[in-house]
Amino acid sequence: MTAPLRPAFHEGQVLSAADLAATVGYGRDVAARHARHLHDWGIAEGLELVTEARTDPATNARYVEVSVSAGLAIDGTGREIVVPASAVLSEASFAEVNGADQATLEPYPVFLTTIDRAQSATGPVSCGTAAAPTRVEESYQILFGRRGDELLAEDQQPPPVSAALADPPTRWLVLLGFVQWTDGHFTRVFPSARGVEPRYAGVRADTVSARAGELTLRTRPTVQEGQPALVLSGEDPPSLVFGLYQGSGTVNPLMTVAANGNLTVAGSFSGRISAGSVLATSGTATDGMLLPLPAGVSKQEVDDGRVELHVHVTPRVPPATTASTLHSPVEATVDGELRVRCRVRSYDPLGVPEVVTEQPGAVEFLVMATVAAAGG
Partner 1 sequence: MTLYVVYVKDTGHVVGAVNAAGDAPPGEGDVGALVGDALPMRVSVDGKVVRLPLPAERLALHTADDEPRVFDNPLAYGVELAGGQPKPTLVELRPESPELAFSNNSLVVTVQPDDPINDTPVLALVSDGEKVHVRPWAIPAGGDSVEIPVTVSEGNHGVLVLVAGWIGILATEIKAARS
Binding site for partner 1 (CB under 8 A): 266-268, 281-293, 295, 316, 318-319, 337, 339, 341, 343, 358-360, 362
- Identify the CA nearest to 332 among candidates 348, 346, 308, 312: 312
49-55 sheet: strands from edge to edge: 49-55, 62-68, 87-88
Q: State in angstroms the smallest separation of the CB of 267 from partner 1.
A: 6
Q: Which is nearer to partner 1, 89 or 285 (CB)?
A: 285
Nearer to partner 1, 81 or 332 (CB): 332
Question: CB of 361: closest distance to partner 1 in angstroms?
Answer: 9
**CB of residue 278 vs partner 1: minimum separation in angstroms?**
14
Q: Closest Cα partner for 63 from 176, 179, 143, 197?
A: 179
Question: Taking a C-beta distance cutoff of 8 angstroms, is the pair 87, 65 a contact?
Answer: no
If the CB atoms of residues 131 and 280 are measured against partner 1, the closer one turns out to be 280
Minimum CB separation of residue 357 from partner 1 in Å reads 9
The CA distance from 89 to 315, in Å, is 74
- CB closer to partner 1, 25 vs 294: 294
User: Whose Cβ is closer to partner 1: residue 54's or residue 310's?
Assistant: 310
Q: CA 342 to CA 46: how far, in whole Å? A: 64
Min CB(33)–partner 1 separation in Å: 50
Distance CA 140, CA 89 (A): 13
Please report how close the Cβ of residue 282 comes to partner 1 at its closest, in angstroms: 7
| Residue 60 or 268 having the CB closest to partner 1 | 268
**Helix, strand or coil, per DSSP, at residue 268:** coil
Cα R_g (the chain), whole angstroms: 36
- Neighbour tally for 107: CB within 10 Å: 20
Q: CA 43, CA 261: separation in Å to the nearest integer? A: 39
Distance of CA 298 to the CA centre of its chain: 28
